[in-house]
Amino acid sequence: MKKTAYLAAAAVALAIGVAGYFALGQRETAPDVNYVLLDGSRQSFNDLKGKVVLVNFWATSCTTCVKEMPHMVETYEKYRERGLDFVAVAMSYDPPAYVSNFAESRKLPFKVAIDNTGEVARQFGDVKLTPTTYLLNKRGEVVKRYIGEPDFAALHRLVETLLAETT
Protein backbone atom coordinates (compact mmCIF):
# COMPACT_ATOMS: atom_id res chain seq x y z
CA MET A 1 0.00 0.00 0.00
CA LYS A 2 2.78 2.44 0.86
CA LYS A 3 4.53 1.73 -2.43
CA THR A 4 1.36 2.63 -4.34
CA ALA A 5 1.01 5.89 -2.37
CA TYR A 6 4.63 6.81 -3.11
CA LEU A 7 4.17 6.07 -6.81
CA ALA A 8 1.00 8.14 -6.91
CA ALA A 9 2.76 11.03 -5.11
CA ALA A 10 5.69 10.76 -7.51
CA ALA A 11 3.34 10.82 -10.51
CA VAL A 12 1.57 13.91 -9.17
CA ALA A 13 4.89 15.66 -8.50
CA LEU A 14 6.09 14.81 -12.00
CA ALA A 15 2.86 16.14 -13.55
CA ILE A 16 3.16 19.37 -11.57
CA GLY A 17 6.79 19.72 -12.61
CA VAL A 18 6.05 19.15 -16.29
CA ALA A 19 3.12 21.60 -16.19
CA GLY A 20 5.32 24.18 -14.43
CA TYR A 21 8.07 23.75 -17.01
CA PHE A 22 5.68 24.37 -19.89
CA ALA A 23 3.95 27.27 -18.13
CA LEU A 24 7.25 29.00 -17.38
CA GLY A 25 8.67 28.22 -20.80
CA GLN A 26 5.95 30.19 -22.58
CA ARG A 27 6.45 33.92 -22.87
CA GLU A 28 3.85 36.61 -23.02
CA THR A 29 3.86 38.70 -26.18
CA ALA A 30 4.03 42.45 -25.62
CA PRO A 31 0.80 44.22 -26.56
CA ASP A 32 0.66 45.84 -29.98
CA VAL A 33 -0.43 49.17 -28.58
CA ASN A 34 0.14 52.53 -30.25
CA TYR A 35 1.93 55.32 -28.45
CA VAL A 36 2.58 58.99 -29.14
CA LEU A 37 6.11 60.36 -28.99
CA LEU A 38 7.05 63.85 -27.82
CA ASP A 39 7.28 65.02 -31.43
CA GLY A 40 3.64 63.98 -31.97
CA SER A 41 4.41 60.96 -34.15
CA ARG A 42 2.59 57.68 -33.52
CA GLN A 43 4.28 54.31 -33.32
CA SER A 44 3.42 50.79 -32.26
CA PHE A 45 5.34 48.15 -30.35
CA ASN A 46 4.76 45.87 -33.32
CA ASP A 47 7.03 48.24 -35.30
CA LEU A 48 9.92 47.26 -33.02
CA LYS A 49 9.92 43.52 -33.72
CA GLY A 50 13.35 42.37 -34.75
CA LYS A 51 14.96 44.48 -32.05
CA VAL A 52 15.56 43.93 -28.36
CA VAL A 53 13.47 46.60 -26.60
CA LEU A 54 13.38 48.16 -23.15
CA VAL A 55 10.02 49.70 -22.26
CA ASN A 56 10.39 51.89 -19.18
CA PHE A 57 7.30 53.27 -17.42
CA TRP A 58 8.39 56.33 -15.45
CA ALA A 59 7.34 59.71 -14.10
CA THR A 60 9.16 62.98 -13.54
CA SER A 61 7.88 62.96 -9.93
CA CYS A 62 9.36 59.49 -9.26
CA THR A 63 12.71 59.85 -7.47
CA THR A 64 13.81 56.32 -8.36
CA CYS A 65 12.94 56.98 -12.01
CA VAL A 66 15.03 60.16 -12.02
CA LYS A 67 17.89 58.33 -10.26
CA GLU A 68 17.91 55.40 -12.69
CA MET A 69 17.51 57.45 -15.89
CA PRO A 70 21.27 58.09 -16.39
CA HIS A 71 21.82 54.30 -16.17
CA MET A 72 19.03 53.77 -18.70
CA VAL A 73 20.73 56.26 -21.02
CA GLU A 74 24.07 54.45 -20.56
CA THR A 75 22.41 51.11 -21.31
CA TYR A 76 20.81 52.45 -24.47
CA GLU A 77 24.04 54.12 -25.63
CA LYS A 78 26.00 50.93 -25.01
CA TYR A 79 23.71 48.64 -27.02
CA ARG A 80 21.78 50.71 -29.55
CA GLU A 81 24.26 50.09 -32.37
CA ARG A 82 23.75 46.35 -31.81
CA GLY A 83 19.96 46.56 -32.07
CA LEU A 84 18.60 47.72 -28.71
CA ASP A 85 15.64 50.08 -28.88
CA PHE A 86 14.13 51.94 -25.96
CA VAL A 87 10.77 53.54 -25.25
CA ALA A 88 10.40 55.62 -22.09
CA VAL A 89 6.66 55.81 -21.40
CA ALA A 90 5.65 58.73 -19.19
CA MET A 91 2.69 57.93 -16.96
CA SER A 92 -0.70 59.51 -17.67
CA TYR A 93 -0.56 61.72 -14.57
CA ASP A 94 2.75 63.28 -15.60
CA PRO A 95 2.17 66.72 -17.20
CA PRO A 96 3.44 66.64 -20.81
CA ALA A 97 5.36 69.91 -20.29
CA TYR A 98 7.30 68.31 -17.40
CA VAL A 99 8.06 65.23 -19.51
CA SER A 100 9.21 67.35 -22.44
CA ASN A 101 11.38 69.54 -20.20
CA PHE A 102 12.92 66.46 -18.52
CA ALA A 103 13.68 64.80 -21.86
CA GLU A 104 15.21 67.97 -23.31
CA SER A 105 17.21 69.03 -20.27
CA ARG A 106 18.70 65.55 -19.86
CA LYS A 107 19.09 65.01 -23.60
CA LEU A 108 17.35 61.63 -23.52
CA PRO A 109 18.58 59.85 -26.66
CA PHE A 110 15.71 57.38 -26.94
CA LYS A 111 12.00 57.52 -27.72
CA VAL A 112 9.89 59.25 -25.07
CA ALA A 113 6.16 58.55 -25.21
CA ILE A 114 3.34 60.41 -23.49
CA ASP A 115 0.69 57.98 -22.24
CA ASN A 116 -1.92 60.66 -21.54
CA THR A 117 -4.85 58.21 -21.68
CA GLY A 118 -3.10 55.49 -19.65
CA GLU A 119 -3.79 52.96 -22.43
CA VAL A 120 -0.16 51.87 -22.83
CA ALA A 121 0.15 51.22 -19.08
CA ARG A 122 -3.17 49.31 -19.12
CA GLN A 123 -2.12 47.16 -22.07
CA PHE A 124 1.13 46.25 -20.30
CA GLY A 125 -0.74 44.74 -17.35
CA ASP A 126 -2.13 47.91 -15.78
CA VAL A 127 1.21 49.36 -14.67
CA LYS A 128 0.76 51.56 -11.61
CA LEU A 129 4.20 51.51 -9.97
CA THR A 130 7.14 53.45 -11.35
CA PRO A 131 9.65 52.65 -12.46
CA THR A 132 8.48 49.46 -14.16
CA THR A 133 10.59 48.22 -17.03
CA TYR A 134 9.92 45.44 -19.52
CA LEU A 135 12.62 43.77 -21.57
CA LEU A 136 11.36 42.39 -24.89
CA ASN A 137 13.19 39.97 -27.15
CA LYS A 138 13.38 40.29 -30.94
CA ARG A 139 10.08 38.41 -31.31
CA GLY A 140 8.29 40.99 -29.15
CA GLU A 141 7.97 38.66 -26.16
CA VAL A 142 8.33 39.86 -22.58
CA VAL A 143 11.50 38.26 -21.22
CA LYS A 144 11.72 40.13 -17.91
CA ARG A 145 9.78 42.69 -15.91
CA TYR A 146 11.54 44.89 -13.39
CA ILE A 147 9.65 46.78 -10.71
CA GLY A 148 11.95 49.39 -9.28
CA GLU A 149 15.50 50.01 -10.42
CA PRO A 150 17.02 46.95 -12.10
CA ASP A 151 20.39 45.44 -11.31
CA PHE A 152 22.08 46.99 -14.34
CA ALA A 153 24.96 44.48 -14.53
CA ALA A 154 22.43 41.62 -14.70
CA LEU A 155 20.27 43.59 -17.15
CA HIS A 156 23.27 44.13 -19.42
CA ARG A 157 24.10 40.41 -19.39
CA LEU A 158 20.51 39.59 -20.35
CA VAL A 159 20.46 42.26 -23.10
CA GLU A 160 23.69 40.81 -24.53
CA THR A 161 22.18 37.32 -24.54
CA LEU A 162 19.03 38.56 -26.31
CA LEU A 163 20.98 40.60 -28.86
CA ALA A 164 22.98 37.46 -29.74
CA GLU A 165 19.79 35.46 -30.45
CA THR A 166 18.58 35.02 -34.00
CA THR A 167 14.88 35.57 -34.61
Residue 163 has pLDDT above 70, yes or no: yes
Mean pLDDT of all residues belonging to the chain: 89
Q: What's the whole-model pTM score?
A: 0.83
pLDDT digits (tens, 9 = 90+) for 15-56: 444 344 344 456 799 999 999 999 999 999 999 999 999 999
Question: Which of 9-13, 114-118, 132-136, 149-153 has the least mean pLDDT?
Answer: 9-13
Bridge-based pairing state of the strands 111-114 and 84-90: parallel
Are the C-beta atoms of residues 42 and 34 closer than 8 Å to each other? yes
Q: Report the share of the chain in percent with pLDDT over 70.
A: 84
pLDDT for 1 = 53
Query: Average pLDDT of 98-116?
Result: 97
pLDDT band at 87 (very low <50, low <70, confident <90, very high): very high
DSSP string computed for 61-95 = T-HHHHHHHHHHHHHHHHHGGGTEEEEEEE-TTS-
pLDDT for 16 = 44
Which CATH number describes the domain made up of 29-164?
3.40.30.10
Are the C-beta atoms of residues 52 and 85 closer than 8 Å to each other? yes
